[in-house]
């Protein structure tokens, strides 16, 4: 009886230890929510002190104090696809919001639904995080809300949940939708959320306008709405939230000084233009092939602009090795803009060189895997893909990013690895200790039991002879049976 209860106690203990062991070795299962506020320049966060929710994220999480460096061309679709894949634009193939592909003999327009869904534009070797997430774990589901590329099948995989950028939903309705995806019977573990502002207002009124400032406040309260919704659904503590953007914004005065009128330098019928503002992508039309040198020479006369033949674009642009990049690039200096065929300008622009601070977006992240109050100076937006892979326990596809800097924002994984290792050792020691104690106890019980039997035998022998012959005689085999039985 005593032995039996001892055995079951040890069994329960081992089961308990096994559960701890399993939980120690379980993969990280925290959710990831990636939010982009289009055109949110890195220093917008300093435009007011009372931006409650942005500052809550900064104090509770990690922050790139000087923003992050994006990729050239600093435009919307290319940089969102860079964030999603960790690749430079020349490597993932979305080199503009508008681009011509000579092999497809077709022009891509970012805002057309048919192009947003056409894999031929998006499936060019890059692997967006929503695909990596679903490919590596059948329990993983991704939800992509209005994020560029999210409507296309890439590497044979479509995100489990998708929503077009042109769905007509309000900002809050988009939040509700993504929360619904996280709380569904088959919930997503990765969500990407895109919002058009403050880019739109920044173009219309310029980055330093009061209109942009009030949009920043609106986005701060949208972030608060996000937090409330996550909290109400018990998701806030287990969700890593990454808040970032694709690019910044600079002012583009409409005066004659800052306007570059292309028609003053080249004949309209000698070239075709794909994207034009602020950087112009120019192809020489085949009929004027012999004029290529002349067109290039004329464009090179433009003041306040750098003009490159694609093959000569400096390596640090990472913007040369793709057939979709136009033959000639006209890259104005900051604040200068291009007019073509009489086209009008706007008060704010982006697309300029990615080494300009004004082109850099912000980055803040908060959640169970981020160190509260952690700060780094800056890093590259190609690093966000491997960061998300780490958070989701995924092996990243080949990419141009690195964890060198971003890992400083995370709770020390190496430390927690060694803690886990220490826990394993402790558990093994406990098992050995309990096993040892059990053996010692069992031996003692066994010895005691044998001693009792021997004294019963001698007692019975004596008494059987003395008192009654009819009493059952103890068999010698009784004790030896016991002995064999227990040994
Ligand atoms: P830009 O500021 O010129 O680089 O482009 C910003 C515009 O890109 C936005 O105003 C949207 O209209 C458009 N856009 C944003 N997200 C998407 C998307 N997922 N697919 C296509 N176009 C988009
Ligand atoms: Zn943008
Ligand atoms: Zn824009």
Whether 44 and 179 map to the same domain: the answer is: yes
pLDDT over 70, % of the chain:
79
Q: Looking at the predicted structure, is the pLDDT value of residue 462 above 50?
A: no
Tell me, using a 6 A CB cutoff, whether residue 75 lines ligand 1.
Answer: yes
Active site annotation includes 238: no
- How high is the pLDDT of residue 477? 31
Q: How far is the CA of 108 from the centre of ligand 1 (A)?
A: 13
Buried b (16+ CB within 10 A) or exposed e, 147-182: bbbbbbebeebbbbbbbebeeebebeebbebbbebb
3-state helix, strand, coil in the chain (%, to 5): 45, 15, 35
Q: How far is the CA of 219 from the centre of ligand 2 (A)?
A: 15
DSSP conformational letter for 466: H
Q: Is residue 245 part of a domain?
A: yes
d(CA 402, CA 250): 28
Of the residues 29, 52, 71, 76, which is catalytic? 76
Closest CA to 355 of 400, 302, 308, 318: 318
Closest ligand 1 atom, CA of 277? 3
Closest ligand 1 atom, CA of 116? 20
Cα angle 202, 207, 212; round to 5: 65
- How high is the pLDDT of residue 430? 57
Whether 162 and 36 map to the same domain: the answer is: yes
Residue, of 424 and 353, whose pLDDT is higher: 353
Q: Is residue 419 part of a domain?
A: no
Residue 147: pLDDT band by 50, 70, 90 thresholds? very high
Final residue belonging to a domain, choices 345, 370, 385: 345
Whether 313 and 181 map to the same domain: the answer is: no
Q: Is residue 433 part of a domain?
A: no
Question: Which ligand is nearest to the Cα of residue 98, counting in written order?
Answer: 1
Q: Are 235 and 29 in contact (CB under 8 A)?
A: no
Final residue belonging to a domain, choices 384, 411, 438: 411
Whether 104 and 197 map to the same domain: the answer is: yes
Q: What is the pLDDT of residues 41-77, one digit of tens each?
A: 999 999 998 999 999 999 999 999 999 999 999 999 9
Q: Are 238 and 30 in contact (CB under 8 A)?
A: yes
Q: How far is the CA of 97 from the centre of ligand 2 (A)?
A: 10
Q: Name the residue at shortest CA distance from atom 23 of ligand 1.
A: 111
Residue 479: pLDDT band by 50, 70, 90 thresholds? very low
Note down the domain range covering 289: 259-345
d(CA 96, CA 103): 16
Residue 468: pLDDT band by 50, 70, 90 thresholds? very low
- How high is the pLDDT of residue 288? 75
Q: Name the residue at shortest CA distance from atom 20 of ligand 1.
A: 148
Whether 368 and 265 map to the same domain: the answer is: no
d(CA 395, CA 358): 33
Q: Looking at the predicted structure, is the pLDDT value of residue 82 above 70?
A: yes
- How high is the pLDDT of residue 192? 98
Q: Is residue 1 part of a domain?
A: no
Final residue belonging to a domain, choices 376, 392, 411: 411
Write down the pTM of the prediction.
0.83
Whether 34 and 136 map to the same domain: the answer is: yes
Determine the 3-state secondary structure of 456 from DSSP.
helix
Q: Looking at the predicted structure, is the pLDDT value of residue 435 above 90?
A: no
Q: Name the residue at shortest CA distance from atom 9 of ligand 1.
A: 196
d(CA 396, CA 233): 30
Whether 227 and 296 map to the same domain: the answer is: no
Q: How far is the CA of 201 from the centre of ligand 2 (A)?
A: 11
Q: Looking at the predicted structure, is the pLDDT value of residue 154 above 60?
A: yes
Q: Is residue 477 part of a domain?
A: no
Whether 317 and 403 map to the same domain: the answer is: no
Residue 472: pLDDT band by 50, 70, 90 thresholds? very low
Q: Is residue 169 part of a domain?
A: yes
pLDDT over 90, % of the chain:
72
Whether 333 and 206 map to the same domain: the answer is: no
d(CA 484, CA 57): 70
What residues does 329 pair with on adjacent strands? 281, 308
Q: Is residue 441 part of a domain?
A: no
Residue, of 415 and 151, whose pLDDT is higher: 151
Whether 180 and 319 map to the same domain: the answer is: no
Q: What is the mean pLDDT of the chain?
A: 86
Q: How far is the CA of 75 from the centre of ligand 2 (A)?
A: 6
Whether omega for the bond prior to residue 298 falls within 30 degrees of 0, making it cis, is no
Whether 222 and 337 map to the same domain: the answer is: no
d(CA 250, CA 266): 27
Q: Looking at the predicted structure, is the pLDDT value of residue 152 above 80?
A: yes
Q: Name the residue at shortest CA distance from atom 1 of ligand 1.
A: 76
Q: If you write DSSP's letter for every residue of 132-173 in order, what string do you get?
A: HHHHH-TT--EEEES-TTTTS-BTTB--SEEE-TTS---HHH
User: Computed from CA positions of residues 415, 421, 426, 427, in that sequence, does the dihedral angle turn out positive or negative?
Assistant: positive
Determine the 3-state secondary structure of 98 from DSSP.
strand
Q: Name the residue at shortest CA distance from atom 7 of ligand 1.
A: 76
Domains held by the chain: number? 2
CATH number at residue 223: 3.40.720.10
- Non-local (6+) Cβ contacts of 255 within 8 A are none
Tell me, using a 6 A CB cutoff, whether residue 199 lines ligand 1.
Answer: yes
Whether 209 and 113 map to the same domain: the answer is: yes
Q: What is the pLDDT of residues 95-129, one digit of tens each?
A: 999 999 999 999 999 999 999 999 999 999 999 99
Q: What is the pLDDT of residues 226-285, one digit of tens each?
A: 999 999 999 999 999 999 999 999 999 999 999 999 999 998 888 889 888 899 999 988
Q: Is residue 111 part of a domain?
A: yes
Ligand 1 pocket test: pick from 117, 118, 130, 165 the residue with the most ligand atoms within 8 Å of its Cβ.
Answer: 165
CATH number at residue 329: 3.30.1360.180
- Non-local (6+) Cβ contacts of 472 within 8 A are 464
């Amino acid at each position: 009886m005593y032995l039996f209860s001892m055995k079951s106690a040890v069994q329960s203990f081992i089961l308990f230890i096994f559960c701890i062991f399993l939980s120690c070795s379980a993969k990280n299962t925290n959710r990831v929510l990636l939010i982009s506020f289009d055109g949110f320049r890195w220093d917008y966060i300093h435009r007011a002190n009372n931006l409650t929710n942005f500052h809550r994220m900064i104090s509770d999480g990690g922050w790139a104090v000087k923003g992050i460096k994006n990729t050239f061309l600093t435009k919307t679709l290319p940089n969102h696809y860079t964030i999603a894949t960790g690749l430079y634009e020349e490597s993932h193939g979305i080199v503009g919001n508008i681009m011509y592909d000579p092999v497809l003999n077709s022009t891509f327009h970012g805002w057309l639904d048919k192009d947003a869904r056409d894999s031929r534009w998006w499936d060019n070797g890059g692997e967006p995080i929503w695909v990596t997430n679903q490919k590596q774990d059948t329990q993983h589901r991704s939800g992509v809300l209005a994020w560029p590329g999210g409507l296309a099948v890439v590497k044979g995989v479509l995100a489990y949940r998708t929503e077009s950028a042109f769905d007509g939903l309000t900002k809050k309705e988009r939040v509700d939708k993504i929360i619904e995806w996280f709380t569904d019977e088959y919930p997503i573990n990765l969500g990407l959320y895109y919002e058009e502002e403050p880019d739109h207002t920044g173009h219309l009124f310029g980055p330093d306008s009061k209109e942009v400032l009030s949009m920043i406040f609106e986005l701060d309260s949208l972030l608060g709405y996000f937090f409330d919704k996550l909290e109400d659904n018990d998701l806030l503590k287990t969700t890593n939230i990454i808040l970032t953007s694709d690019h910044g914004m600079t002012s583009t005065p409409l005066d004659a000084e800052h306007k570059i009128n292309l028609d003053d330098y080249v004949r309209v019928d000698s070239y075709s233009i794909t994207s034009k503002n602020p950087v112009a992508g120019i192809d020489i039309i085949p009929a004027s092939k012999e004029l290529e040198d002349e067109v290039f020479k004329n464009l090179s006369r433009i003041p306040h602009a750098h003009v490159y033949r694609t093959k000569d674009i400096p390596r640090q642009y990472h913007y040369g090795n793709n057939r979709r990049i136009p033959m000639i690039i006209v890259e104005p200096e900051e604040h200068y803009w291009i007019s073509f065929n009489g086209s009008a300008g706007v008060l704010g622009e982006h697309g300029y060189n990615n080494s300009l601070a004004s082109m850099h977006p912000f980055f803040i992240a908060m959640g169970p895997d981020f160190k509260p109050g952690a700060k780094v100076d800056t890093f590259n937006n190609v690093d966000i893909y491997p960061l998300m892979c780490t958070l989701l326990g995924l092996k990243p596809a080949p990419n141009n990013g690195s964890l060198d800097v971003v890992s400083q924002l995370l709770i020390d994984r190496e430390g927690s690895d060694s803690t886990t290792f220490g826990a394993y050792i402790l558990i093994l020691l406990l098992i050995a200790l309990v096993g040892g104690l059990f053996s010692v106890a069992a031996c003692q019980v066994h010895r005691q039991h044998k001693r009792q039997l021997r004294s019963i035998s001698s007692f019975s022998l004596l008494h059987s002879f003395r008192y009654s012959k009819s009493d059952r005689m103890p068999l010698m085999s009784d004790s030896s049976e016991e002995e064999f039985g227990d040994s």
